[in-house]
């Protein structure tokens, strides 16, 4: 096959850009840092949304929608928050043909405006927990944009909840972390994320604890794919979110927030892509089976249509490609780029022998398959290849993670992969030193792999890496 993409080993960021352009997933927008998500990319995002939305609703949160525009003064009420976001704000100064009395900012995230309304809606302990989520666009001005990973505008879900106690808030932030985020990433996206606690240096602006899901990219870097924050009473105090307790007192609520975004599309590409294009895990794929008419011939179109219908009846998300006015080779290259998990190629020669060819994207294997067995073969491939992609990514992560004992070794190991190092060998000072060399502490874990409550627990492990 002719070279379609820059090989990953040659220039990984260039490969990534090539893939996005050639698979027609997205384009750069006309305003610097913005993106256009094309139908092939957006269809994957819609599947991510549907799977995530189901999990968020199962955790009891309800969807709502808050305004794009936030009064500038809202952001200033929580000191760390304004400091964290000020450099990234887009500011609207004119509306309806006039200069505005007070400029408004385009939301970089909605903690502040949602805090304002939580204060109105929460009165009694009976109103808690208040569990909200919204699907929205947000804007953070980016000086070094990269499609899907860092764009000035991106799409995301942001959850915001208020609770009566710190314990309840913590439990909910962790429930979303594991039951929604980790579950989706591992079991649908097939990305074996590490789930841990961010250091205080890496925490969200205004949080008392930030939990994260970190995925490894094909060049051994780290990518933060979702975070869940305990906000303590910081926003409740800034926005006066209080409730009367069962005992009759007036208390500040404890809030959380949590988000995942179109960045997951970038993570998917960087985790599962190969030199021929994207590989989409079957459970996620908007098109799981791609039935192709190789070229016209006796009964070919009819056989392909029947297979399409049979696959659809078997519950497979399927598309038919009968564009025989475009050369088969070019269409096959496009199908590889798009990463459809299974191709079913129907051509006159094979069909004369009663066969179609079933091609598995995960490893490129092609199997002559009796037409009557195609549905079974596709179902088996979809089932096995979900696991195969996950396991391949896990093996890659393990082979690119080095256990070391000192900061210097960790920084060295981070040149090509992840380093596992005792947090006691790093600490806040070591973290600053690593940052100076382009390496960050991605998360902290307990020795048994579970998520710590604070960075002060003994015997924690730090994961150090370069990151996107």
Task: Give the interface with its own copies as residue ranges (CB under 8 A).
Answer: 27, 29-31, 34-39, 42-43, 45-46, 62-71, 74, 86-97, 103-104, 106, 113, 116-117, 120, 126, 132, 136-137, 139, 141-143, 152-153, 155, 325
Shortest distance, position 98 Cβ to its own copies, whole Å:
9
In the chain, what is the straight-line distance between the N-terminal and C-terminal CA atoms, in Å? 30
By beta-carbon proximity to its own copies, the closer residue of 64 and 415 is 64
Shortest distance, position 41 Cβ to its own copies, whole Å:
8
Residue 359 CA to residue 241 CA, distance in Å, equals 57
Which bin fits 151, alpha (ψ -120 to 50), beta or left (φ > 0)? beta
Shortest distance, position 106 Cβ to its own copies, whole Å:
7
Q: Tell me the three-class secondary structure of 133-170, residue by residue.
A: EEEEEEECCCCCCECCCECCEEEEEEEEEEECCHHHHH
By beta-carbon proximity to its own copies, the closer residue of 134 and 355 is 134
User: Contact 192/198 with Cβ under 8 angstroms?
Assistant: no
Q: What is the largest CA-CA distance in the chain?
A: 82
User: Contact 237/183 with Cβ under 8 angstroms?
Assistant: no
Is the omega angle on the peptide bond into residue 466 within 30 degrees of 0, that is, cis? no
Residue 183 CA to residue 179 CA, distance in Å, equals 5
Shortest distance, position 92 Cβ to its own copies, whole Å:
5
Dihedral sign, Cα of residue 23, residue 24, residue 29, residue 35: negative
By beta-carbon proximity to its own copies, the closer residue of 124 and 399 is 124
Shortest distance, position 35 Cβ to its own copies, whole Å:
7
By beta-carbon proximity to its own copies, the closer residue of 180 and 265 is 265
By beta-carbon proximity to its own copies, the closer residue of 265 and 388 is 265
By beta-carbon proximity to its own copies, the closer residue of 127 and 168 is 127
Shortest distance, position 285 Cβ to its own copies, whole Å:
16
Shortest distance, position 70 Cβ to its own copies, whole Å:
7
Query: Considering only CA atoms, which of 35, 404, 25, 395 is closest in space to residue 216?
Result: 395
Q: Token pair for residue 14? A: 């260039």
By beta-carbon proximity to its own copies, the closer residue of 142 and 373 is 142
Shortest distance, position 311 Cβ to its own copies, whole Å:
18
Q: Collapsing DSSP states into helix, strand and coil, what is residue 345?
A: strand
Could you tell me which residues are beta bridge partners of residue 71? Answer: 104
Q: Collapsing DSSP states into helix, strand and coil, what is residue 399?
A: helix
At a CB cut-off of 8 Å and minimum separation 6, what does 48 contact?
Answer: 184, 188, 189, 264, 265, 284
By beta-carbon proximity to its own copies, the closer residue of 132 and 270 is 132
What is the four-CA torsion angle of 277, 41, 160, 210, rounded to 10 degrees? 20
Shortest distance, position 152 Cβ to its own copies, whole Å:
7
By beta-carbon proximity to its own copies, the closer residue of 274 and 321 is 321
By beta-carbon proximity to its own copies, the closer residue of 5 and 155 is 155
Of the CA atoms within 13 Å of residue 262, those in its CB half-sphere come to 26
Residue 146 CA to residue 13 CA, distance in Å, equals 9
Shortest distance, position 47 Cβ to its own copies, whole Å:
11
Q: Token pair for residue 412? A: 């060295």
What is the four-CA torsion angle of 71, 77, 80, 81, rounded to 10 degrees? -30
Shortest distance, position 121 Cβ to its own copies, whole Å:
8
Q: Collapsing DSSP states into helix, strand and coil, what is residue 194?
A: strand
User: Contact 108/89 with Cβ under 8 angstroms?
Assistant: yes
Shortest distance, position 100 Cβ to its own copies, whole Å:
9
By beta-carbon proximity to its own copies, the closer residue of 89 and 465 is 89
Q: Collapsing DSSP states into helix, strand and coil, what is residue 334?
A: helix
Q: Token pair for residue 296? A: 């016209």
Cα R_g (the chain), whole angstroms: 25
By beta-carbon proximity to its own copies, the closer residue of 70 and 356 is 70
């Amino acid at each position: 096959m002719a070279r379609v993409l820059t090989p990953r080993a040659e220039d990984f960021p260039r490969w990534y850009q090539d893939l996005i352009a050639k698979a027609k997933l997205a384009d750069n927008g006309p305003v610097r840092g913005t993106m256009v998500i094309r139908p092939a990319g957006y269809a994957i995002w819609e599947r991510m949304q549907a799977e995530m939305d189901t999990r968020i609703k199962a955790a009891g949160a309800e969807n709502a929608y808050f305004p794009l525009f936030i009064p500038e003064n809202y952001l200033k009420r929580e000191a760390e928050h304004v400091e964290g976001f000020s450099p990234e704000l887009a500011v609207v100064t004119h509306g309806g043909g006039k200069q505005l009395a007070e400029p408004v900012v385009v939301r970089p995230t909605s903690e502040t405006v949602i805090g304002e309304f939580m204060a109105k809606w929460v009165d009694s302990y009976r109103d808690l927990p208040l569990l909200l989520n919204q699907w929205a666009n947000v804007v953070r001005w980016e000086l070094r944009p990269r499609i899907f990973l860092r764009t000035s505008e991106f799409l995301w879900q942001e959850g915001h909840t208020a609770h009566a106690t710190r314990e309840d808030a913590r439990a909910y932030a962790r429930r979303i972390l594991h039951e929604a985020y980790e579950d989706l990433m591992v079991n649908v996206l097939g990305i074996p994320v590490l789930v841990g606690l961010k250091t205080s240096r890496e925490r969200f602006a205004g949080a008392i604890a930030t939990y994260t899901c970190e995925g490894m990219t094909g060049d051994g870097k780290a990518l933060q794919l979702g975070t869940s924050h305990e906000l303590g009473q910081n926003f409740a105090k800034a926005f006066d979110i209080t409730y009367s307790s069962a005992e009759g007192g007036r208390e500040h609520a404890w809030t959380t927030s949590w988000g995942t975004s179109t960045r997951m599309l970038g993570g998917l590409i960087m985790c599962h892509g190969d030199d021929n294009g994207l590989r989409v895990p079957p459970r996620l794929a908007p098109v799981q089976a791609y039935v192709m008419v190789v070229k016209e011939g006796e009964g070919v179109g009819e056989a392909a249509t029947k297979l399409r219908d049979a696959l659809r009846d078997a519950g497979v998300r399927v598309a038919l490609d009968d564009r025989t006015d475009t050369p088969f080779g070019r269409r096959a290259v496009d199908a590889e780029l798009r990463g459809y998990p299974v191709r079913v190629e129907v051509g006159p020669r094979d069909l004369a022998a009663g066969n179609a060819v079933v091609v598995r994207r995960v490893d490129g294997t092609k199997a002559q398959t009796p037409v009557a067995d195609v549905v079974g073969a596709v179902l088996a491939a979809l089932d096995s290849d979900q696991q195969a992609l996950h396991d391949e990514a896990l093996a890659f992560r393990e082979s690119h993670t080095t256990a070391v004992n000192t900061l210097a070794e960790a920084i060295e190991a981070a040149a090509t992969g992840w380093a596992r190092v005792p947090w006691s060998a790093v600490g806040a000072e070591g973290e600053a030193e690593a940052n100076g060399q382009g390496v960050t502490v991605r998360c902290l874990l307990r020795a048994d792999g579970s998520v710590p409550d604070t960075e002060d627990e003994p015997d924690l492990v730090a994961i150090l890496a370069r990151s996107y």
